């Protein structure tokens, strides 16, 4: 007698019909009937009155049903307990990321990292750069991918790549009447949408600094909570938004992206981790990034593998 025999029998007893029981068990009806017959032969007793419609349990069948249902319930509980134990034993690796990095190379890198660490429970948490620093120090994340250069003696930063910026404009904007890139001087008078609104400092402050470094005062029209909202506000003609070039993958029919004259202006993608954290998982992450960058022909960040 096996667990499957008990499960088959209990299902037939509950459905009181072989056809319905077979459908519930996702097997054909003839094999199910044979399994019940084999169970009866092994026990040496009839469990079902097959002449009645619907099927009826014999006295022996009722006794077996009561005990089999309890056995199956305890077996399912045991399987659930073991699954939870296995998951609790499985090492966990938490990645913090800012929204804009998800449009760059990060998804590809994470897929490669997962493939290299099949026994690792990898989870992602969206948080701005400032939140990542606190989360690293508290042990809530193991690595962070952000945009802002924040100094903290407990956190190591590696600039993975400098990403050029573009401007997102609504489809009907007057600046789109001519071809070619736009300058910050042209954009300074336009209503500007910043993100994220909180916490600060953030990418929003980086954009403000770009204007002010050129003696320009941005015309801030709205501060959005997140990137997707900011792009939606652009589509609604609330203003324009300065975004990393990879955000162009967030395609909308009512938003146009234009390059900037000042192509040397970039936003970094920074990998942050705890100082002196030599975990094997971080070593794999660094190796994955190096191998991917080499494959893509990108410049490999100095010291990433140390």
So where are the chain's domains?
A: 3-87, 92-160+268-304, 163-265
> Is 0.85 surpassed by the pTM of this model?
no
pLDDT (0 to 100) of residue 200: 81
**What are the structure tokens assigned to 234, written together?**
């652009």
Kindly report the CATH number that applies to the domain delimited by 3-87.
Answer: 1.10.10.10
Tell me how many degrees the CA angle 11-17-19 measures, rounded to the nearest 5: 90
The H-assigned helical ranges of the chain are: 3-15, 18-25, 29-43, 59-89, 106-116, 129-138, 184-187, 203-212, 227-235, 280-296
pLDDT (0 to 100) of residue 304: 83
Q: List the chain pLDDT tens, one digit each, 306 residues.
A: 788 889 999 999 998 889 999 998 999 999 999 999 999 999 998 999 888 888 889 999 889 988 888 888 888 888 887 777 666 667 889 999 998 898 889 999 999 999 999 989 899 999 989 999 999 999 999 999 999 888 899 999 999 999 999 999 999 999 999 899 999 999 999 999 999 887 888 899 999 999 999 999 999 999 998 899 999 999 999 999 999 999 998 888 899 999 999 988 999 999 999 998 999 999 999 999 999 999 999 999 888 876
pLDDT (0 to 100) of residue 301: 87
Query: Which 3 state secondary structure label does DSSP give 297?
Result: coil
pLDDT (0 to 100) of residue 86: 67
209: DSSP letter: H
Which region, left, alpha or beta, applies to residue 26 given φ > 0 means left and ψ of -120 to 50 means alpha?
A: left
Same fold: 92-160+268-304 with 163-265: yes
Handedness of CA 298, 280, 275, 143 (dihedral sign): positive
Fold for 92-160+268-304, please state it: D-Maltodextrin-Binding Protein; domain 2 (3.40.190)
Please name the CATH architecture into which domain 163-265 falls: 3-Layer(aba) Sandwich (3.40)
pLDDT (0 to 100) of residue 196: 86
pLDDT (0 to 100) of residue 275: 93
pLDDT (0 to 100) of residue 131: 92
Rounded CA-CA distance 108/296 in Å is 12
């Amino acid at each position: 007698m096996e667990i499957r025999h008990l499960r088959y029998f209990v299902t037939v007893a509950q459905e009181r019909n072989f056809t319905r029981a077979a459908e519930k068990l996702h097997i054909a009806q003839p094999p199910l009937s044979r399994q019940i017959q084999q169970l009866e032969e092994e026990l040496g007793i009839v469990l079902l009155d097959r002449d009645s419609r619907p099927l009826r349990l014999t006295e022996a069948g009722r006794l077996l049903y009561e005990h089999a249902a309890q056995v199956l319930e305890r077996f399912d509980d045991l399987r659930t307990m073991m699954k939870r134990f296995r998951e609790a034993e499985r090492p966990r690796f938490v990645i913090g990321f800012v929204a804009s990095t998800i449009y760059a190379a990060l998804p590809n890198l994470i897929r490669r990292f997962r493939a290299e660490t099949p026994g690792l429970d990898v989870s992602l948490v969206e948080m701005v750069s400032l939140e990542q620093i606190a989360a690293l120090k508290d042990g809530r994340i193991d690595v962070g991918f952000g945009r802002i250069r924040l100094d903290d003696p407990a956190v190591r930063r590696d600039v993975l790549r400098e990403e050029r910026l573009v401007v997102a404009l609504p489809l009907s904007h007057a600046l789109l009447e001519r071809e070619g890139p736009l300058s910050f001087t042209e954009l300074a008078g336009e209503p500007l949408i910043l993100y994220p609104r909180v916490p600060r400092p953030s990418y929003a402050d980086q954009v403000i600094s770009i204007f002010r470094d050129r003696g320009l005062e941005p015309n801030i029209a709205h501060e959005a909570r997140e990137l997707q909202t900011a792009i939606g506000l652009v589509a609604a003609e609330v203003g324009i938004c300065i975004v990393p070039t990879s955000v162009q993958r967030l395609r909308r029919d009512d938003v146009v992206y234009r390059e900037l004259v000042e192509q040397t202006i970039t936003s970094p993608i920074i990998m942050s981790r705890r100082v002196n954290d030599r975990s094997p998982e971080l070593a794999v992450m660094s190796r994955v990034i190096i191998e991917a960058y080499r494959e893509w022909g990108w410049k490999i960040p100095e010291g990433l593998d140390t």
